Amino acid sequence: MKAALLLTGLLAPWAVSAALSALLRGSPRLAGRLTAAAGALSLGAAAAIWFVVLGGEVLVAGPGDLFRADALSALVAGCIAAVSGLAMLPWAGIGKDQADRDRARVFRIFGSLFTLAMLVAVTINNVALMWVAIEATTIVSAILIPLHRSKASVEASWKYILIGSVGIALAFAGTVLAYFDFVSLLGRRHDALNWTLLMDVAPTLHPDVLRLAFVFLLVGYGTKAGLAPMHTWLPDAHSEAPAPLSAMMSGVLLAVAQYAIIRWKAVVDAAGGPAFTNQVLMALGLLSIGIGALSLVRQQNYKRLLAYSSVEHSGLICLGLTFGPAGVFASLLHLLNHALAKSMSFLLAGRVLARYSSAEVDRVSGLVRTMPATGPLFAAGMLALMGLPPFGLFLSEFLLFRAGFTSGHPVATSAAMLLAGVGFVGLAGHLARMLHGPGPDGVAAGERDWWMLAPLAVSVVAMIALGLLLPDTVARLLGRIAEAMSI
Q: Say which DSSP state 469 is in.
A: T
Our finding on whether 139 is near other proteins (CB under 8 A) is: yes
**CA–CA–CA angle 305, 309, 314 (5° rounding):** 150
Non-local (6+) Cβ contacts of 448 within 8 A are: none
The strand ranges marked E within 44-122 are 59-61, 67-69
147 vs 141: CA distance, rounded Å: 10
Our finding on whether 132 is near other proteins (CB under 8 A) is: yes
147 vs 144: CA distance, rounded Å: 5
Our finding on whether 312 is near other proteins (CB under 8 A) is: no
Our finding on whether 422 is near other proteins (CB under 8 A) is: no
Our finding on whether 206 is near other proteins (CB under 8 A) is: yes
Our finding on whether 162 is near other proteins (CB under 8 A) is: yes
Under DSSP, is residue 388 helix (H, G, I), strand (E, B) or coil?
coil
101 vs 346: CA distance, rounded Å: 22
Phi then psi dihedrals of residue 365, to 5 deg? -150, 160
Supply the minimum distance, in Å, between the C-beta of residue 346 and other proteins: 17
Our finding on whether 142 is near other proteins (CB under 8 A) is: yes
Q: Which among 246, 224, 233, 232 is positioned nearest to 145, based on CA atoms?
A: 246
CA distance readout (Å), 318 to 222, 311, 416 = 9, 11, 12
Our finding on whether 70 is near other proteins (CB under 8 A) is: no
Q: Say which DSSP state 451 is in.
A: G
Sign of CA dihedral 157, 162, 164, 168: positive
260 vs 355: CA distance, rounded Å: 38
**CA–CA–CA angle 346, 143, 287 (5° rounding):** 55
Query: Which range in 91-99, 136-144, 309-317, 363-371 contacts other proteins by CB under 8 A?
Result: 136-144
Among 180, 418, 421, 432, the residue binding other proteins under the rule CB under 8 A is 180
Q: What is the enclosing helix (H) or strand (E) of 368?
A: helix 367-370
Our finding on whether 190 is near other proteins (CB under 8 A) is: yes
Our finding on whether 272 is near other proteins (CB under 8 A) is: no
Q: Across the chain, how many H-helices and E-strands are there? A: 20, 2
278 vs 413: CA distance, rounded Å: 14
Supply the minimum distance, in Å, between the C-beta of residue 42 and other proteins: 22
Our finding on whether 193 is near other proteins (CB under 8 A) is: yes
Our finding on whether 165 is near other proteins (CB under 8 A) is: yes
Our finding on whether 260 is near other proteins (CB under 8 A) is: no
Q: Which among 256, 259, 246 is positioned nearest to 305, based on CA atoms?
A: 246
Which amino acid is present at 198?
A: L
424 vs 57: CA distance, rounded Å: 40
Our finding on whether 16 is near other proteins (CB under 8 A) is: no
Q: Say which DSSP state 26 is in.
A: S
Among 148, 149, 448, 476, the residue binding other proteins under the rule CB under 8 A is 149
Interface of this chain with other proteins, residues 429 to 448, rule: CB under 8 A: none
Which amino acid is present at 441?
A: D
Nearer to other proteins, 268 or 330 (CB): 268
Our finding on whether 397 is near other proteins (CB under 8 A) is: no
Nearer to other proteins, 240 or 312 (CB): 240
Supply the minimum distance, in Å, between the C-beta of residue 4 and other proteins: 19
Among 35, 112, 239, 337, the residue binding other proteins under the rule CB under 8 A is 239
Nearer to other proteins, 132 or 353 (CB): 132
| Count of residues interacting with other proteins (CB under 8 A) | 52
Our finding on whether 288 is near other proteins (CB under 8 A) is: no
418 vs 20: CA distance, rounded Å: 50
Q: Which among 340, 348, 284 is positioned nearest to 316, based on CA atoms?
A: 284
Among 12, 48, 106, 143, the residue binding other proteins under the rule CB under 8 A is 143
Among 73, 138, 277, 288, the residue binding other proteins under the rule CB under 8 A is 138
Our finding on whether 388 is near other proteins (CB under 8 A) is: no
Supply the minimum distance, in Å, between the C-beta of residue 300 and other proteins: 9
Among 1, 97, 151, 454, the residue binding other proteins under the rule CB under 8 A is 151
Nearer to other proteins, 243 or 393 (CB): 243
Our finding on whether 173 is near other proteins (CB under 8 A) is: yes
Our finding on whether 152 is near other proteins (CB under 8 A) is: yes
Our finding on whether 298 is near other proteins (CB under 8 A) is: yes
Our finding on whether 159 is near other proteins (CB under 8 A) is: yes
Binding site residues, other proteins, CB under 8 A: 126, 128-129, 132, 135-136, 138-139, 142-143, 146, 149-152, 154-159, 161-162, 165-166, 169, 172-173, 176-177, 179-181, 183-184, 188, 190, 192-193, 206, 208-209, 211-212, 235-236, 239-240, 295, 298-299, 304
